Each structure stands twice: as C-alpha cells, then as structure tokens.
Amino acid sequence: MVPGPGKPRAGGAKDGGGPRHGRRGAPMKPLRVAARWVLPVSGEPIADGAVLVGPDGRIAAIGPDRSVPRPARADEVSLGEAALLPGLVNAHTHLELTALRGLVRDLPFADWIRTVRAIKYGLDPRIYRASARWAVLESFAAGITTSGDTGTTLQAASALAELGARGIAYHEVFGPDPKQCAESVAGLEAALARLEPLASERVAVGVSPHAPYTVSDDLLGAVTALTARRRLKAATHAAESVEERLLVEEGRGPFADDLRARGIAVEPKGTTTLGWLERAGFLALRPLLIHCVTAVPADLARAWRAGATVVHCPWSNAMLGHGRADFAAMRRLKLAVGLGTDSVAAGGGHDLFTVVRQAALGLEVGRGLAPREMLRLLTLGGAEALGLDGVGTLTAGAWGDLTAVRLDAPASLAADPEEAVAWSATASDVVLTAVAGRVVYRAGRWPGVRIGAERAAFRAAAEAAATVSRSVRPRGILAR
C-alpha cells in the first residue's frame, strides 16, 4: 500500500490567477528577491538586481536593487552570490512515471515501450499520485516552475494544481485498432470531465493522441475534431524513432509486427508522420510535436507553416537510441522550440541544465548557442512552445515565476553570469524557486509541504514499481 501524503487543499486548483491567498485565506504578501545578478533572459543582466512580485502573482518591478520598491508588507529574500532568472520550463515530461526511474534500461525502443506499459498497467493507481507529486517537488528543487506533462492517470494535473506548479496536463489517448475509436473517444471525454475542475490560469488541460503506432487514422481524426471543437491544447509524440518511421512510411518493423499479431491491418501511410498529422488536420491545431528526431527539413518546414511547435529531448533521445533531432534545422526555420527531460524512465532526472548543454553540444562548431540563447531555451523557449503567455521572462507584468542558482561554487566563477549559469549550473545549485510569487522551494525545503510523508509515499511507489518490473518480460505488450 502506498501511504498518502495528504488530501488536496480546498480550491487548490483555482489559485493561479487573481490575488493569491495563503493557507488560511489571507491575501499573499508581495515577494521581493535580490541577488548578485538578475538574468531577465529577454534583456541584459542586471548586477546587484532585484525583482518585486505583487500580491497578484505578477512582476511589479525589476531592476537594480536600489531602484526596486520595498513595500512594508513584502517578504524580502536576499540571495547574495546567486543568479535570479525566470522559472525553468520543462516542455515535455511524464510526471506519473517517476517511480519507474532506472527500471527499464538498454532495450530496443519497441521493447522499452512494451516493458514500460506492462509495468504501468501492473501498478495500483494510488502509486501514480505519489509518483506525480514527488516529480513536481523534484522539479521545484531543480528550478522548474512549468511542466508540459503527458499521461493517462489524471494524477499529474492534480499534483500540479495541488502543489502550486504551473503547467499543461495533456491527456493521452490510445487506440491502434479502428474498432476501438468510439471507446477511446468516450474514455477521453470522461477523462476531460474529471480534469476540467482542475483547470485554472496556472494549470491548463490538453489532449495528446499518443503516437502513430498507438493511434488509428480514425481515432486521430476523431480526436482532432474533438480538440478543435473544445479549443484545447494539443500535443503528440511525432517522428520519434526509426521504428516509428518504418511503420508509417513502409508498413513494416516491430510496431507493424505487433499490430498485425493483434489482427490489425497495417499499410504504409504514403507519407511521413508529419504528413499523416497534416492530412488528418491535426497540424492545424498548432500542436506541440514531441521529439521530431526523424523529421527531415521538409517536415519541419511543414510544421512551421502550420504554426506547430517542437519540444527537443536530447537526453531521452540518446538514452533510447533514437539519435539526434535536427535542432540546427529547427533553428534555421525559426520554429518555436522548448526543451524536455521526458520521463525519468526514459532519461534519468529533471535537470534541464544538463539537457540544454546536450542540445548545445549537438550543434556544429561555429553555429552553436550563445549563453543567453541557452537560458532562453530553458525558459521563454519552452513557454513559447507550450503557448503560454507571461511565462519564461522577467519583465513587468509577467508571472512571478522565479528560479535562483548559487554562483559561489568554484565552477560557477566567471565574468559573465549567463555563461556561468548556462555552462556550469546544475539542478543541485538551485537555491530558490517561486511560482506566481509563492516560494515553493528554498535551500532544501519545500514550504508548507509534509516532505517526510511525500518522501515515504514515493519510496513505497518506487518499491512497488520495482517489484512489478521483476515479473515483466519485454514481449507482446504493445500499448493498448
């Protein structure tokens, strides 16, 4: 049994916009944070700077410390030798799968998918609550304030809402057999009905038809129509692997074999994955396209014309043996690109600083990323990919989502603070994280959180997942 870390706060899902309130209903105080450097990302670094977040959760002032007001009721934090920047944006993750960390490694992609799905369907649903909540807390400790999550258990949306994070919860839809279409759509509608009460200015709900090997043509068309009708955000795993490309373009490979073994007819789609999405009208939704490793420049141009965005996941792409996405072509086309850790089952953690360096190292010498471009990818780039306004930048009127990293470590000493953060900072250097002006992490502590109970619940969840994993064999369990 997984111990529960506590019930949701009443009204916890609706506290994203308007005046903020504390746990006892009193209006929140302004938050004023000063640091040796403030890095707005959208402008020049500010030496000895400060940021003031008003009681509405938005930035009221930013500038040199001496010029930023000090309201009498404000909570003041002086960080000293640290850099203050916008909260990091993790544009793709699977929070509910955090309990599977390290359990599925070094398998061909199709076998990896089968194994993860088998473990997932063998777990008690309560495990996902503990897993998703710990993932949000872990994200706070890594400086992440916004997450683009895809999942099926509804627990990520609850965790984001209850713990005070920002994000989009994309509900995944499955159904490779055309005969499943009506059932899958009905399941989606039921899930959306349960998710809608969690929606706020801080947490949005979206839809994600999972991938070409788990979604039929009929289901893609039906989900596209439903998403357009309800004006929801959309995302999908697209052009992720060679195995996917073989299925879509040639009607063969391990995914094709599994589908045929289930009695599902498989034929080449006569186009690429992005062409398939365009033909169904899905690209017209301006979706978030996850991975795009095998997408050729012509496909990326198709995405750009449609107004779609991309999330680049170099860490998990490498771990799963997918290869490298053509990040250089995405930059040339000026596609909106964010970064994602993917699930820790695929990658290993929620350290976006490591991910951005992997993205930068994948570019040719002479065409690399300047430090500010790297910081933009970590923040504003992710917000733009997710279609979120007022996120990822430190400017007056933007949401007061903040991250601070220490600069007193030996490897962080540099004349250029942007260089120091972009190339030397890690998740362990984060000293403060705030969402809409509410401090959610500070130097090893999560204010207002019963961290002992959360840790115990997650440990029990991880142990349960490990127990199930020992009985799983990576064959014949393609996503339902």
- Give the pLDDT band of residue 346 (cuts 50, 70, 90): confident
Distance (Å, rounded) from C-alpha 208 to C-alpha 188? 10
pTM, two decimals, is: 0.93
* pLDDT value of residue 473: 66
What integer is the mean pLDDT of 116-128? 91
| pLDDT tens digits along 65-92 | 999 999 999 999 999 999 999 999 999 9
* Residues 402 and 338 placed together within one structural domain of the fold: no
Distance (Å, rounded) from C-alpha 316 to C-alpha 309? 19
- Give the pLDDT band of residue 144 (cuts 50, 70, 90): very high
* pLDDT value of residue 16: 40
* Residues 242 and 153 placed together within one structural domain of the fold: yes
| pLDDT tens digits along 424-478 | 999 999 999 999 999 999 999 999 999 999 999 999 999 999 999 998 865 433 4
Cβ-based neighbours of 388, under 8 Å, separated by 6 or more: 89, 146, 166, 168, 204
Residue bearing the bigger pLDDT, 126 or 447: 447
* pLDDT value of residue 366: 63
User: Which phi and psi (to 5°) does residue 193 adopt?
Assistant: -65, -35
| Residue in the structure block whose two tokens are 């955000």 | 233
* pLDDT value of residue 125: 85
* Residues 207 and 318 placed together within one structural domain of the fold: yes
Distance (Å, rounded) from C-alpha 420 to C-alpha 196? 41
* Residues 423 and 288 placed together within one structural domain of the fold: no
Distance (Å, rounded) from C-alpha 282 to C-alpha 467? 39
Looking up residue 127, the CATH number of its domain turns out to be: 3.20.20.140
Domain-located, residue 463: no
| pLDDT tens digits along 238-273 | 999 999 999 999 999 999 999 999 999 999 999 999
- Give the pLDDT band of residue 5 (cuts 50, 70, 90): very low
* Residues 331 and 291 placed together within one structural domain of the fold: yes
The per-residue DSSP string of 112-171 comes to HHHHHHHHHHTS-THHHHHHHHHHHHHHHHTTEEEEEEEESSSHHHHHHHHHT-EEEEEE
**Domain of 149?**
88-386
Distance (Å, rounded) from C-alpha 348 to C-alpha 350? 7
Looking up residue 73, the CATH number of its domain turns out to be: 2.30.40.10
Average pLDDT, whole number, for the chain? 92
* pLDDT value of residue 472: 83
Domain-located, residue 174: yes
Domain-located, residue 473: no
* Residues 207 and 241 placed together within one structural domain of the fold: yes
Buried/exposed 195-230: b ≥16 CB within 10 Å, e otherwise:
beebbbebbbbbbbbbbbbbbbebbbbbbbebbeee
What integer is the mean pLDDT of 102-111? 91
Q: Is residue 338 pLDDT above 80, yes or no?
A: yes
Distance (Å, rounded) from C-alpha 341 to C-alpha 454? 22
Spatial contact of 255 and 247, defined as CB atoms under 8 Å apart: yes
Q: Is residue 232 pLDDT above 90, yes or no?
A: yes
| pLDDT tens digits along 165-219 | 999 999 999 999 999 999 999 999 999 999 999 999 999 999 999 999 999 999 9
Distance (Å, rounded) from C-alpha 277 to C-alpha 368? 31
- Give the pLDDT band of residue 368 (cuts 50, 70, 90): confident
- Count how many residues are written for the chain: 480
Q: Domain end: 329, 351, 386, which one?
A: 386
* Residues 237 and 297 placed together within one structural domain of the fold: yes
Side-chain half-sphere exposure of 56, counting CA atoms within 13 A:
10
* pLDDT value of residue 479: 36
* Residues 207 and 263 placed together within one structural domain of the fold: yes
Domain-located, residue 3: no
Distance (Å, rounded) from C-alpha 291 to C-alpha 294? 8
- Give the pLDDT band of residue 365 (cuts 50, 70, 90): low
Distance (Å, rounded) from C-alpha 101 to C-alpha 47? 39
- Measured between alpha carbons, how far is residue 201 from residues 287, 296, 305, 436 in Å? 19, 36, 28, 11
What integer is the mean pLDDT of 50-73? 97
Comparing 15-19, 32-36, 67-71, 413-417, the range with the smallest average pLDDT is 15-19
> Taking Cα atoms as reference points, which of 343, 385, 427 lies closest to residue 168?
385
Spatial contact of 399 and 412, defined as CB atoms under 8 Å apart: no
* Residues 161 and 52 placed together within one structural domain of the fold: no
Write out the two tokens for 196: 């809608």
**How many structural domains does the chain have?**
2
